[in-house]
């Protein structure tokens, strides 16, 4: 039967709550899902990330069919597959002759632009509905941002608390404060109980995808063996249950901590599931709030967790749509150095980088502080071209979609937007890494040495970064004390730092 509407569902729209599905009728409308090589090749995507997306899509196809939907599903290895969204949508229109194409707004600028060309190219009406999985619509964020001098996340977050009622008593925040971050900066010890997020054994559908990815994307980065992510709603729910009961209570205390051999600590590892639609962000927050209300998790943990989701996650999406397409080319610090090879191999003597990159290649996961204060901090201090840094983050993490990765990388981590997202660069010397992790104790460099053969490279790089960027960030009020310290140093000491950093950079 000729469908009335052809609903195109993308790989990060795997929820029965998608606006296009909710507005449709399985008796008259048809779903199209396609695996395309062009998307898998936009950057060097980690093999486990490719498995995650394709396997979750195939399971969602089965869920839709079980719910009575007609689904046209084109696998990557289908001989007729053209390899692009445009090509596959055109073929489906030819095959099924629908009256109309219906989309839920794509999450990424590139895909939205593609959708915008279809009406003319295929001579068919196209309707795009807002993605209601986000708490703050794109227009709503633009209205919030309009006329503000600074777009600080903290104020946006308070609006979202009021809007959702999460941790609110009428119009007052639970516990009398909006933010309990000051209590969330403890280093972790190896004697703590460490939760382990469930690893899900691949079923036959996932095993088929693992074989396909191994054969087709052999040259892509990352280990394929050991894939254990959830790819169905039911398994993602199990991961959420595990996090709420085992890790959430200590999430706040150890949010910024890093430990050798402990890739997850008390982090949730829920971002891939939330980002593709297997878990609903507001439901996840309500589960955390419930744990607090039942006395199973403290306020500093629950507030911190909820802030990441209704604060940071919504905020970076707002910034992405406000600033694209120019945002991707931002390079306020004019950083030009190529990304060092060890970002792909983990072959470096710096123990912190080796740990963060090694686990990234092994698991397609690193937690926020590893991304921000180890790999991100190093790239910032060494002056790596932010576009190359962005493409690395977009490729290597299982949760990476451009709308969330780009503002985090370019804005928060690399200060490439000149301070739109962060009030100062997240730049740190070895002192911070030594305080928040145990990496330095197993490193061939010494965190407390400033210069010399065994001095930690982060130390000289830190001052080199501040010195070479003085024209661009020297007037930042939050860096005033740091620049005063630099200025008070003996000229020989400053020269030693700068020479050591130059030598190190030349060796990269
Ligand atoms: P948890 O620490 O358990 O946090 C809970 C949830 O809060 C996460 O699942 C996530 O949904 C949300 N969250 C936390 N921090 C952020 C944030 N800064 N921005 C948006 N959401 C947040 N997150 C992605 O989802 N995809 C990315 O591609 C991505 N790239 C990043 C790149 C850099 C350079 C940095 C510094 C951060 C990036 N983040 C990204 C944000 C954050 O690091 C990840 O969301 C988090 O590490 C995911 O692990 P988790 O689920 O264990 O998070
Ligand atoms: Fe990293 Fe320096 Fe510590 Fe080594 S000494 S782990 S390079 S911060």
Strands 100-104 and 126-129: parallel
Q: Are 220 and 73 within 8 A, CB to CB? A: no
399 CA distance to ligand 1 middle (Å): 8
| Cα–Cα nearest to 369, from 251, 200, 503, 197 | 251
Q: What is the pLDDT of residues 372-382, one digit of tens each?
A: 999 999 999 99
Q: What is the pLDDT of residues 330-367, one digit of tens each?
A: 999 999 999 999 999 999 999 999 999 999 999 999 99
pTM of the entire predicted model: 0.97
Q: Are 244 and 287 within 8 A, CB to CB? A: yes
Residue 272 has a pLDDT of 98
409 CA distance to ligand 1 middle (Å): 11
How far, CA to CA in Å, does 69 sit from each of 25, 63, 128, 309, 390?
9, 9, 20, 31, 38
Average pLDDT value over all residues in the chain: 96
Q: What is the pLDDT of residues 10-24, one digit of tens each?
A: 999 999 999 999 999
430 CA distance to ligand 2 middle (Å): 6
**Confidence bin at 183 (pLDDT 50/70/90):** confident
**Confidence bin at 171 (pLDDT 50/70/90):** very high
Burial of 79 (0-12, 13-18, 19+ CB in 10 A): exposed
Per-residue pLDDT at 1 exceeds 80: no
The secondary structure of the chain in percent helix, strand, coil, rounded to multiples of 5, reads 55, 5, 40
Pocket probe for ligand 2: among 358, 430, 442, 501, the residue whose CB has the most ligand atoms within 8 Å is: 430
**325: preceding bond cis by omega (within 30 degrees):** yes
Every domain range in the chain assigned CATH 1.10.579.10:
342-507
15 CA distance to ligand 2 middle (Å): 43
Using the 8-state DSSP alphabet, how is residue 328 labeled? G
169 CA distance to ligand 2 middle (Å): 45
CATH 1.10.579.10 fits 342-507, yes or no: yes
Bridge partners (DSSP) listed for residue 7: 31, 102
Q: What is the pLDDT of residues 441-459, one digit of tens each?
A: 999 999 999 989 999 999 9
CATH of 138-321, one of 1.10.357.10, 1.25.40.80, 1.10.3720.10, 3.20.20.120: 1.25.40.80
The whole-angstrom separation of Cα 349 and Cα 296 is 42
Residue 335 in tokens: 């950083």
Burial of 25 (0-12, 13-18, 19+ CB in 10 A): exposed
Per-residue pLDDT at 194 exceeds 90: no
The whole-angstrom separation of Cα 185 and Cα 264 is 16
Q: Which ligand is nearest the CA of 240, by number?
A: 1
Pick the range with the lowest mean pLDDT from 53-62, 184-193, 304-313: 184-193
Strands 30-34 and 70-74: parallel
Mean pLDDT of 406-432: 95
**Confidence bin at 418 (pLDDT 50/70/90):** very high
The whole-angstrom separation of Cα 3 and Cα 96 is 7
271 CA distance to ligand 1 middle (Å): 6
CATH 3.40.50.620 fits 5-129, yes or no: yes
Pocket probe for ligand 2: among 433, 435, 507, the residue whose CB has the most ligand atoms within 8 Å is: 433
Residues with CB under 6 A from ligand 2: 350-352, 430, 433-434, 439-440, 443, 445, 447, 456, 458
User: Closest ligand 1 atom to the C-alpha of 401?
Assistant: 28
Every domain range in the chain assigned CATH 3.40.50.620:
5-129
Closest residue to atom 50 of ligand 1, CA basis: 269
- Which residue is it, tokens 């460099």? 445
Residue 171 neighbours by CB under 8 Å, 6+ apart? 162
The whole-angstrom separation of Cα 447 and Cα 314 is 36
Residue 105 has a pLDDT of 98
Mean pLDDT of 83-101: 97
Q: What is the pLDDT of residues 14-72, one digit of tens each?
A: 999 999 999 999 999 999 999 999 999 999 999 999 999 999 999 999 999 999 999 99
**Confidence bin at 191 (pLDDT 50/70/90):** confident
Residues with CB under 6 A from ligand 1: 267-271, 274-275, 305, 308-309, 312-313, 316, 367-368, 371-372, 376, 393, 397, 399-400, 404-405, 408-409, 412-413
**Confidence bin at 149 (pLDDT 50/70/90):** confident
Q: What is the pLDDT of residues 257-287, one digit of tens each?
A: 999 999 999 999 999 999 999 999 999 999 9
């Amino acid at each position: 039967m000729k469908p009335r509407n052809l609903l195109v569902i993308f790989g990060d729209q795997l929820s029965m709550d998608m606006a296009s599905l909710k507005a449709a009728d399985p008796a008259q409308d048809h779903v199209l899902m396609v695996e395309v090589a062009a998307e898998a090749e936009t950057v060097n995507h980690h093999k486990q990330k490719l498995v995650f997306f394709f396997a979750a899509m195939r399971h969602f196809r089965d869920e839709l069919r079980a719910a009575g939907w007609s689904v046209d599903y084109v696998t990557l290895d289908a001989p007729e597959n053209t390899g692009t969204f445009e090509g596959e949508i055109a073929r489906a229109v030819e095959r099924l002759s629908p009256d109309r194409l219906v989309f839920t707004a794509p999450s990424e600028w590139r895909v939205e632009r593609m959708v915008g060309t279809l009406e003319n190219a295929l001579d068919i009406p196209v309707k795009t509905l807002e993605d209601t999985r986000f708490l703050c619509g794109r227009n709503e964020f633009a209205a919030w941002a309009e006329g503000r001098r600074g777009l600080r996340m903290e104020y946006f977050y308070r609006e979202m608390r009021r809007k959702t009622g999460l941790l609110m008593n009428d119009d007052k925040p639970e516990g009398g404060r909006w933010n309990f971050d000051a209590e969330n900066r403890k280093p972790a010890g190896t004697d703590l109980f460490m939760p382990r997020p469930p690893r899900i054994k691949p079923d036959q559908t996932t095993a088929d995808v693992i074989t396909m990815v191994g054969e087709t994307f052999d040259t892509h980065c990352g280990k394929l063996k050991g894939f254990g992510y959830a790819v169905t709603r039911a398994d993602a729910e199990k991961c959420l249950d595990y996090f709420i009961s085992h890790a959430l209570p200590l999430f706040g205390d150890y949010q910024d901590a890093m430990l050798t051999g402990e890739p997850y600590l008390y982090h949730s590892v829920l971002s891939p599931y939330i980002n593709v639609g297997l878990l609903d962000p507001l439901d996840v927050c309500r589960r955390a709030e419930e744990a607090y209300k039942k006395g199973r998790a403290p306020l500093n943990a629950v507030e911190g967790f909820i802030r990441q989701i209704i604060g940071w996650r919504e905020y970076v999406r707002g910034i992405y749509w406000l600033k694209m397409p120019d945002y991707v080319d931002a390079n306020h610090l004019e950083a030009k150095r190529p990304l060092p090879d060890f970002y792909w191999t983990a072959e470096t003597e710096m123990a912190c980088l080796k740990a963060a990159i090694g686990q990234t290649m092994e698991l397609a996961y690193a937690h926020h502080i590893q991304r921000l204060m180890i790999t991100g901090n190093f790239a910032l201090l060494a002056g790596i071209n932010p576009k190359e840094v962005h493409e690395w983050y977009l490729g290597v993490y299982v949760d990476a979609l451009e709308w969330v990765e780009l503002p985090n990388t370019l804005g928060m981590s690399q200060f490439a937007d000149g301070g739109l997202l962060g009030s100062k660069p997240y730049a740190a010397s070895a002192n911070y890494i030594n305080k928040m992790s145990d990496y330095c104790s197993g490193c061939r460099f010494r965190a407390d040495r400033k210069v010399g053969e065994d001095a930690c490279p982060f130390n000289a790089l830190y001052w080199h970064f501040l010195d070479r960027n003085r024209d661009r960030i020297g007037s930042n009020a939050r860096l005033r004390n740091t620049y005063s310290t630099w200025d008070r140093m003996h000229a020989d000491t400053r020269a030693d730092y700068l020479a050591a950093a130059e030598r190190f950079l030349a060796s990269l």
